[in-house]
Structure formats: C-alpha cells, structure tokens
Amino acid sequence: MIDWPTNLVPQVKVEWMKEIPIKFLSFIWRASLGRIPAATELAKRGITVESIQCGYCMAMDESPNHILLNCTFAKTVWEWCNMPQIQLNTVGEPIEYAAKHDTCRKNMKVIINICYSTLWEIWKARNERIFKRLITTPTLVADNIQMTVHTWMKYKSSCPFTNLSPIVTEYDTRIM
C-alpha cells in the first residue's frame, strides 16, 4: 500500500452531496489531495509515461494542479464559469470556495455542482484526448459542464430544475 504524503497537501472538505454520484465525488476527493493520475504523479510512482509535459500547452509539466487549473486550456474553461474570486493555484481552492460561497444552502449546492463538474469535465477531456485521441475545445467542455450540472441538480431532486436557483439561470445565460 502506498503511504501517501497527505501531510504535504492541505486538506479541504469535500461536500459529499447526495445529488452527485459517488464516482464523481471520489474523483474530487482524490483531486483535492493531488491523487489523480496526472503525468507527474505517475512518474513519481515509477510508472513509465511517454512525456510528463502537458499535452495542451506543451509548456509545463502535467501535474494535477496544472491540468485542472493552471493550464491555459483549464483557465479558459474556468473563465466560462465566471467565478473570478476563485484562486486557481491548487485544486483545493475552488473546492473550498464552493463550500464557503454562500450562506444559503441551496445556492451553495449550485456553486459546488458547478465547481465539481468543472474539475470533472476538464479531467474527462484530458483523458479523452490521451486515450481516445479526441480533441475538444474549452467551449465544448463548458457545454458538457452545463449538461453535467443539470444532470446532477435533477438527480435525486424532487423540485423542477428551473426553480432550483437563480444562479443556475445566470450560469446558463453566461455559458450559452
């Protein structure tokens, strides 16, 4: 069993919301600890990788923080989400931001949905590029984020989606 150096990674609280399927939450939790198989992490564990360079910008190593936040591709996707207060340095920052965003629980849930689905969809696009050779654009990733948010908000929710929160409507207007 690998002894992860969790003391080196700031712990953040992931909201285990029932609306979000467990496999996505598990990804967010692992991402918050830097435990996703980005190239630098694989190389650290002795796994042979073709290159540790980021396949989008070709300028930096592909670390978890780089691929999900700092890469120009990821930054463009985050800009679509229009959350300027988010510090994009470590994966924990948007996760913490989402949990503290609003005192209203309903609005907070929407922001959490958007942040988590953004992290998930950026990672999914990276995997599809590497494993399926599918090239996508930040705009298409933003479309997928929107669909994921809608799916999660409807999941296990008895209220009609359109009544959930004005934030969703604002978000839809921005992203379209």
Residues at the contact surface with Zn ion, assessed by CB under 5 A: 54, 56-57, 71
CA distance 61 to 47: 15
Residue 81's Cβ-count burial label (10 Å; 0-12, 13-18, 19+) is buried
Q: CB 5 → Zn ion: shortest distance, Å?
A: 24
Q: CB 125 → Zn ion: shortest distance, Å?
A: 12
Q: CB 96 → Zn ion: shortest distance, Å?
A: 23
Q: Which is nearer to Zn ion, 57 or 175 (CB)?
A: 57
Q: Which is nearer to Zn ion, 54 or 108 (CB)?
A: 54
Q: CB 52 → Zn ion: shortest distance, Å?
A: 11
DSSP element (H, E) containing 139: helix 138-154
CA nearest neighbour of 144 among 121, 124, 115, 126 = 121
Q: How far out from the chain centre does Cα 119 lie?
A: 1
Q: Which is nearer to Zn ion, 71 or 153 (CB)?
A: 71
